[in-house]
């Protein structure tokens, strides 16, 4: 017998013993508490953003909230699936020979298959996946059989040629985040295959989910895979067409990026201010304070230390205007200049 077949035979025995030999009467119930805590944290952040008028940030946080709620829903569905499985009377569906033939048959369906007896893992690698012209690369499905029925997710989906969504490096596929697959409509079939020990069916079902895409995917839409949300308007823009605010470095679309009337650098709306006279937009560096009225003006609307209006008033021949508006120090300074 070849070494590969020896591995398959040994793995089939261990797999069968683990799945059908000694079943625990009580399994721990997984509840996605960390995901719920994330939801509450994002809600607090949204409240803070709205309170300060940070509308772009509030829109981005709403997107994060939708993603986290979807993740929580997937986790709760897995918990429900585990509880339902625990309430069913377990019945042996496959024999050691069936599992062995499934393991051998994996090589006919996947280009790269490995059985790690030390780690109790079965690994199968998909071909290169392309969805909607987006190259997502190969994925390795890693099933750790001792965890079947004991944890919410006994397998991982690892990107071997990662091309993650721009919004998060943890999203390597519209249905995969943090190496965890949101199975969607494939959930009942995948759960049944695992519970019944149908190894080949399990890997084929997971591969089918990875090769399938439908709008409304939980983690990221392919239409915006390489896009980034504009900080100001919340719209999507391709990462190669982004503009960055020269001051705060937030990412902007071309429509929201505005040039300063002075230095011509690009800024977001929050980092630009209007000249109190001409009302054109300038960055804070290109606006100077009038030492008399306290308002900020551009170079065109300002003369030395004063805006044009205050400068005119200071040099007016009407002495009562000077005495009413000038500070003692300014009056003394101007008197010295005049002398």
Between residues 93 and 130, which one has the greater pLDDT?
A: 130
Average pLDDT over residues 293-315: 86
pLDDT of 28 reads: 53
Confidence of residue 89 (pLDDT cuts 50, 70, 90): very low
pLDDT of 84 reads: 66
Confidence of residue 339 (pLDDT cuts 50, 70, 90): very low
Long-range contacts of 23-28 (CB under 8 A, 24+ apart): 23/90, 23/149, 24/149, 24/150, 27/82, 27/86, 27/149, 27/150, 28/150
Residues 138-156: pLDDT tens digits? 999 999 999 887 777 899 9
Q: Domain 227-286 belongs to what architecture?
A: 2-Layer Sandwich (3.30)
Residues 17-57: pLDDT tens digits? 888 765 444 445 566 676 788 888 888 888 888 888 888 88
Length of the chain: 339
Average pLDDT over residues 236-263: 85
pLDDT of 22 reads: 53
Contact present, 212 and 234 (Cβ < 8 Å): no
Percentage of the chain beyond pLDDT 70 is 83
Average pLDDT over residues 194-216: 90
Confidence of residue 333 (pLDDT cuts 50, 70, 90): very low
Residues 255-291: pLDDT tens digits? 888 999 999 999 998 899 999 999 999 999 999 999 8
Which CATH number fits the domain 3-23+90-224, given the four candidates 3.10.110, 3.40.30, 3.40.50, 3.30.70?
3.10.110
Confidence of residue 240 (pLDDT cuts 50, 70, 90): confident
């Amino acid at each position: 017998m070849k070494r590969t077949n020896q591995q398959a035979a040994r793995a089939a025995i261990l797999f069968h013993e683990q799945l059908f030999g000694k079943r625990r009467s009580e399994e721990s119930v997984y509840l996605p508490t960390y995901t719920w805590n994330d939801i509450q944290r994002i809600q607090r952040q949204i409240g803070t953003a709205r309170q300060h008028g940070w509308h772009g940030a509030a829109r981005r946080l709403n997107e994060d909230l939708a993603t986290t709620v979807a993740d929580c829903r997937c986790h709760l569905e897995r918990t429900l699936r585990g509880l339902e499985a625990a309430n069913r009377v377990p019945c042996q569906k496959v024999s050691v020979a069936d599992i062995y033939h499934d393991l051998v048959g994996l090589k006919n369906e996947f280009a790269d298959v490995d059985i790690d007896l030390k780690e109790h893992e079965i690994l199968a690698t998909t071909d290169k996946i392309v969805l909607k012209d987006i190259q997502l690369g190969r994925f390795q499905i890693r099933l750790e059989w001792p965890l079947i029925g004991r944890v919410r997710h006994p397998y991982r989906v690892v990107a071997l040629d990662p091309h993650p969504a721009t919004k998060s490096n943890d999203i390597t596929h519209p249905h995969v985040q943090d190496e965890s697959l949101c199975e969607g409509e494939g959930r009942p079939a995948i759960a049944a295959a695992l519970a019944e020990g149908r190894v080949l069916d399990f890997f084929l079902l997971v591969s089918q989910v990875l090769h399938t895409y439908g709008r409304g995917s939980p983690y990221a839409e392919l239409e915006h895979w390489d896009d980034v949300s504009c900080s100001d308007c919340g719209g999507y823009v391709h990462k190669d067409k982004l503009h960055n605010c020269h001051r705060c470095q937030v990412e902007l679309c071309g429509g929201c990026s505005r040039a300063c009337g002075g230095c011509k650098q690009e800024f977001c709306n929050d980092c630009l201010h209007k000249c109190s006279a001409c009302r054109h937009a300038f960055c804070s560096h290109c606006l100077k304070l009038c030492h008399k009225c306290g308002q900020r003006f551009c170079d065109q609307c300002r003369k030395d230390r004063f805006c044009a209006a205050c400068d005119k008033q200071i040099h007016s021949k009407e002495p009562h205007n000077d005495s009413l508006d000038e500070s003692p120090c300014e009056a003394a300074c101007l008197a010295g200049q005049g002398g």
